[in-house]
């Protein structure tokens, strides 16, 4: 499998499931047999994920990526053995030097960030698509301040009950079924299910403009169930 298909969510899920370290092996950069150059995508994803691990208090050395050819079996063995020794030295996930994170809290943090993967990939899509040729550039692709800011400014999405026309477009397009709606029923976003993918915001017809992007302030409470029914003017007259 191309290393470019190793999604950020896969790595975070591995740590959430208790893995003490994750190793990714890929073809050498600029030696792709196809046209995808997926190893650059894998490299950028790892650089981003390492900063995310650091953000939640984990040692970024727990995630490693190395590039080599299929014929370099000896090198592969050496690299994997060295990584195994490094992870053993770091100790169990969350309990290593400088970590000290309680397991339940750590799992909760990782699951919350995993849920935000679509949002993270959307916001950082340009950098994730870059091709770094010099290893000295790696550390500067994503900065600690940048990642801290990313998680401070996560938006939320809210459907204005005064503007929602129950057209069901956002309801049908939500990839995680986080919108509760129906015919003639004002739609409501379940904030616990929402993955911040922005789909609802983008598909809401401009003439309605019902979906609001909120940042830096709490989301208004959902409209009470008994007030969610929309009475159309024609039916009201009848």
On the question of pLDDT at 50 being above 50, the answer is: yes
3-state helix, strand, coil in the chain (%, to 5): 45, 10, 40
**Residue 109: burial class (beta carbons within 10 Å; 0-12, 13-18, 19+):** buried
Mean predicted confidence (pLDDT) in 49-53: 97
pLDDT at 238: 45
Encode pLDDT of 194-229 as tens digits.
999 999 999 999 999 999 999 989 999 999 999 999
Architecture of domain 156-237: 2-Layer Sandwich (3.30)
Q: How far apart, in Å, are the Cα atoms of 147 and each of 29, 39, 103, 183, 184?
A: 26, 22, 23, 40, 41
Tell me the whole-structure pTM to 2 decimals: 0.85
Encode pLDDT of 134-176 as tens digits.
888 998 999 999 999 999 989 999 999 999 999 999 999 999 9
**β pairing state of 179-182 and 22-26:** unpaired
Show me where the domains of the chain are located.
Answer: 3-152, 156-237
Q: How far apart, in Å, are the Cα atoms of 141 and each of 42, 134, 135, 145?
A: 13, 11, 11, 12
Per-chain mean pLDDT for the chain: 93
């Amino acid at each position: 499998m191309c290393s470019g298909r190793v999604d950020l969510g896969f790595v975070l899920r591995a740590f959430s499931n208790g893995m003490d370290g994750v190793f990714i092996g890929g073809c050498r950069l600029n030696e792709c047999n196809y046209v995808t150059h997926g190893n650059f995508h894998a490299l950028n994803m790892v650089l981003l994920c390492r900063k995310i691990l650091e953000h939640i208090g984990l040692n970024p050395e727990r995630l490693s990526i190395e590039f080599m050819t299929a014929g370099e079996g000896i090198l592969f063995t050496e690299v994997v053995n060295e990584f195994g020794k490094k992870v053993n030295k770091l100790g169990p996930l969350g309990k290593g030097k400088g970590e000290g994170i309680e397991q339940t809290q750590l799992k909760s943090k990782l699951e919350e960030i995993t849920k935000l993967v679509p949002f993270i990939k959307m916001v950082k899509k340009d950098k994730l698509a870059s091709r770094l040729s010099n290893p000295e550039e790696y550390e500067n692709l994503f900065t600690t301040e940048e990642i801290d800011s990313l998680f401070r400014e996560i938006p939320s999405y809210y459907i204005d009950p005064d503007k929602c026309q129950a057209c069901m477009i956002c309801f049908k397009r939500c990839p995680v079924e986080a919108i509760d709606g129906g015919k003639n029923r004002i739609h409501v976003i379940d904030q616990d299910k929402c993955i911040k993918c922005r789909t609802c915001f983008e598909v809401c017809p401009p003439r309605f403009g019902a979906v609001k992007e909120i940042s830096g302030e709490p989301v208004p409470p959902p409209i009470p169930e008994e007030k969610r029914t929309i009475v159309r003017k024609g039916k009201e007259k009848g």
